[in-house]
Amino acid sequence: MNTYLTPGFQDSKIEERKVRKTKINPDKDLLLARAILENEEELLKKNLDGQQKYSAGEKYNKIRNKPNSSTPGTNVGKTPESSTDKRILGKKNMHISINEQIVSKKSSNKSFVYRMNSSFSKESPVKKQRATKEANLPSINNKTSDASQPDGLVRKKAGKPSKAENDSRITKSRDGRKRQRDKSALNNSKTQYNIELQKLKQAGDLRWTPKLCVDIPMSIERIKFSQSAYENDNKWNYRIMGKEDYQRREQIKKLESTSQTQVVYDSLDKSPFYTDSNPYIDDKKLLEAKKNSGFVNPNINPRGYRRQKGITGIPNKDKIYTSLNPYYILENEEDTTLVFESRFESGNLKRAVKIEDYEYDLILRNDYNSQGYTQWFYFRVTNTRSDKKYLFNIYHFYKPESIYNEGMRPLIYSKKKEAKEGVGWMRIGEDICYYQNTTKRKSGSGFLYSLSFSFDLPFNDDEVYFCHHYPYTYRDCKEFLDNLCTDSRREERVSQKDRIRKTEICKSLAGNSLDLAIITNFLSSEQDISQRDAVIITGRVHPGESNSSFIVEGILEYLVSDEVEAIQLREKYVFKIIPMLNPDGVILGNYRCSLSGQDLNRQWIAATSRVFPEIYNMKLMFKKTLESRRIFMYVDVHGHSRKNNCFMYGCSNKASDKKNYEKIFPMRFSELHPTFSFEDCSFNVQKDRETTGRVFVRREYNILNSFTLESSFLGASKGIYQDTHFTPEQLKDVGRAFCKTLNDIENPKIKASMLKKLSS
| CB contact at 8 A, 372 and 362 | no
| DSSP SS3 for 28 | helix
Radius of gyration of the chain (CA): 42
Other beta carbons within 10 angstroms of residue 592's beta carbon come to: 24
| DSSP SS3 for 201 | helix
| CB contact at 8 A, 448 and 455 | no
**Which one is catalytic: 359, 571, 710, 746?**
710
Amino acid, res. 222: R
Alpha carbons 228 and 616: distance in angstroms, whole number: 38
Q: What single-letter DSSP state applies at residue 167?
A: H
Other beta carbons within 10 angstroms of residue 168's beta carbon come to: 12
| CB contact at 8 A, 448 and 372 | no
| DSSP SS3 for 46 | helix
Q: What single-letter DSSP state applies at residue 450?
A: E
Helices (H), 589-612: none
**Residue of 304, 300, 297 whose CA lies nearest to 372:** 304
| DSSP SS3 for 17 | helix
Alpha carbons 538 and 549: distance in angstroms, whole number: 10
Alpha carbons 743 and 745: distance in angstroms, whole number: 6
| DSSP SS3 for 152 | coil
Catalytic status, residue 165: no
Alpha carbons 40 and 137: distance in angstroms, whole number: 12
Alpha carbons 730 and 727: distance in angstroms, whole number: 5
Strands 500-507, 715-716: pairing kind: unpaired
| CB contact at 8 A, 138 and 155 | yes
| Buried/exposed 117-152: b ≥16 CB within 10 Å, e otherwise | bebbeeeeebbeebeeebeebbbeeeeeeeeeeeee
Other beta carbons within 10 angstroms of residue 79's beta carbon come to: 13
**Residue of 22, 33, 3, 6 whose CA lies nearest to 97:** 33
By residue count, the chain amounts to 760
Alpha carbons 110 and 169: distance in angstroms, whole number: 13
Strands 646-649, 378-382: pairing kind: unpaired
In DSSP terms, which residues pair with 340 in a beta bridge?
A: 381
34: which residues sit within 8 A by CB, 6+ positions away? 63, 79, 85, 88
Backbone angles phi, psi at 6, to 5 degrees: -135, 160
In DSSP terms, which residues pair with 430 in a beta bridge?
A: 454
Alpha carbons 188 and 512: distance in angstroms, whole number: 34
Looking at the annotation, which residues are catalytic?
Answer: 710
